[in-house]
Amino acid sequence: MRQQQDSAAVLFDVDGTLMDTVYLHTVAWWEALRQNGHRVPMAAVHRSIGMGSDHLLDRLLGEDRERDGDQAMSAAHDALYAQYWSRLAPLEGAADLLKACADRGWVVVLASSASADEFRVMKEVLGADRAIDAGTKGDDVQKSKPSPDLVQQALKRADVPPERAVFVGDAVWDAQAARRVGVRSLGVLSGGISREELMDAGVEQVYDGPADLLAKIDHSLLSSPERLTG
């Protein structure tokens, strides 16, 4: 890991931020729910993507539901989503953005709610291993976003305090999790959530996607680790 005094880290969500996978997860969850007797509008499913299955099912089915079928629904989602693994694609500019951050001296950490197998596949498809210092995934924490566990774990992997980190994500859950531990955040629209919703959740700057952030990086929070202030 590129580590030095006064290091700063950029923590990247993966689904919808670096990988064009949000709508694949939407379809997989919609079908998993349908197979288990739940008719949930796809629009509602989409707006819950970015959460882990624990929070997602609470949001879509209610916290007072019978939970006996949760494991089956989660397993069905995983099996359905795995059918897309061979066709997964990064968003335009994703790998170059990671490399640009590394070249500028940022400690680059992937922070994803994905399972270990999903995380491995996406990391391979991204093709930017030389730029990635560390990663954390859903299996590493007890609670998923918007709980702050994943962000806290990513900070530990980066070995930086919250005021020396920036989180980049596509969902309101990313911004909420980051804000709960005092980490500033950037947003991208590539997951289908609006600029206004991201800003309301605490995001400071919003970009169309990784390619847009890369093109404007000199005017963003990622311009230089030395310029980051808490």
What is the Cα–Cα distance from 116 to 15, expressed in whole angstroms? 14
Residue 106: HSE in the Cβ half-sphere, 13 Å Cα cutoff: 29
Structure tokens at 223: 């311009």
C-alpha closest to that of 21 among 119, 104, 139: 119
pLDDT at 199: 98
pLDDT at 230: 55
With beta carbons less than 8 A apart as the criterion, state whether 126 and 142 touch.
no
Q: Is the pLDDT of residue 5 over 80?
A: no
Mean pLDDT calculated for residue range 63-69: 89
The domains of the chain, with CATH numbers, are 9-21+89-227 (3.40.50.1000), 22-86 (1.10.150)
Q: What is the pLDDT of residues 176-218, one digit of tens each?
A: 999 999 999 999 999 999 999 999 999 999 999 999 999 999 9
pLDDT at 66: 86
Mean of pLDDT over the chain: 94
What is the Cα–Cα distance from 63 to 59, expressed in whole angstroms? 7
Structure tokens at 217: 């990086």
